[in-house]
């Protein structure tokens, strides 16, 4: 499902349930020692997806350990992202020579909990979302915004190595092209230039929202 919104240079794998044959590699076991079994099954399955995607790039299966902020630590020369929500797990990877960074996210196609939207969207975004709801009320634009900003953060963090708040990015969603543009309010100096904007894609199917943000190497080059 998520492959439809990713470039051809990105390898991905997905699962719609936890896989009984998925296993934990050395080091991953310790990372899940204190979590409940349902979380361990989710952790195993999404890493199985990650290893499947790495295999599509011709790489051997390796442990995917969590970093200081729980971000996945990929093999040298690889960028990637993972996501999981109820009924869905996915991973996407690419060679760093092809993609500078990427983020993916999946969410149930449901409205956000009451009162949560102002914490996710800036005032100008809420105005734009009101217009989108008037045009296409069948889409949960609030949850889509949440998912898109999760993808933004997942693409941002490997480059910046620091936090990006929901209000540090503004989205303009294109309902026809199923894409979104991102204005960053914390500029990221990279390779002698400042990264101030990103873009992404989205889709809604099977009662799921999936989003992605892909950063081209040219955006980070001097």
Structurally, the chain folds into a number of domains equal to: 2
Which residue range forms the structural domain that includes residue 28?
Answer: 2-98
Both 118 and 84 in one domain: the answer is no
Do 66 and 126 reside in the same domain of the chain? no
Q: What is the pLDDT of residue 163?
A: 87
Q: How far apart are CA 83 and CA 64, in angstroms?
A: 13
Together in a domain, 6 and 63 = yes
Smallest CA-to-CA distance from 62 within 91, 83, 34, 100 is with 91
Cβ partners under 8 Å of residue 216, min gap 6: 99, 100
Q: How far apart are CA 155 and CA 157, in angstroms?
A: 6
Q: For the chain, which residues score pLDDT lower than 50?
A: none
Task: At 16, list the tokens.
Answer: 């719609």
Write down the pTM of the prediction: 0.94
The predicted pLDDT at position 102 comes to 97
Same structural domain, 112 and 134: yes
CATH number of the domain at 118, please. 3.90.470
Q: In what side-by-side order are the strands of the sheet with 208-215?
A: 101-108, 208-215, 193-205, 179-190, 169-174
The pLDDT assigned to 186 comes to 76
114 and 160 both lie in a single domain: yes
Structure confidence at residue 220 (pLDDT) = 62
């Amino acid at each position: 499902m998520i492959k439809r919104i990713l470039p051809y240079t990105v390898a991905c794998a997905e699962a719609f349930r936890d896989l009984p044959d998925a296993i934990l590699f050395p080091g991953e076991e310790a990372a899940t020692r204190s979590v409940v079994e349902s979380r361990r099954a989710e952790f195993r399955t999404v890493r199985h997806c990650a290893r499947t995607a790495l295999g599509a790039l011709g790489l051997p299966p390796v442990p995917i350990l969590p970093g200081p902020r729980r971000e996945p630590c990929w093999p040298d020369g690889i960028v990637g992202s993972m996501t999981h929500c109820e009924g869905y797990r996915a991973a996407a990877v690419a060679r760093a020579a092809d993609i500078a960074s990427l983020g993916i996210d999946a969410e149930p196609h449901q409205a956000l909990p009451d009162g949560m939207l102002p914490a996710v969207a800036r005032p100008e975004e809420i105005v734009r979302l009101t217009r989108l709801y008037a045009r296409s009320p069948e889409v949960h634009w609030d949850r889509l915004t949440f998912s898109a900003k999760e993808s933004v953060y997942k693409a941002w963090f490997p480059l910046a190595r620091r936090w990006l708040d929901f209000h540090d990015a503004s989205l303009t969603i294109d309902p026809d092209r199923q894409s979104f543009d991102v204005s960053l309010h914390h500029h990221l100096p990279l390779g002698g230039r400042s990264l101030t904007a990103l873009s992404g894609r989205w889709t809604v199917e099977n009662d799921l929202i999936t989003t992605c943000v892909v950063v081209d190497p040219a955006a980070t080059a001097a």
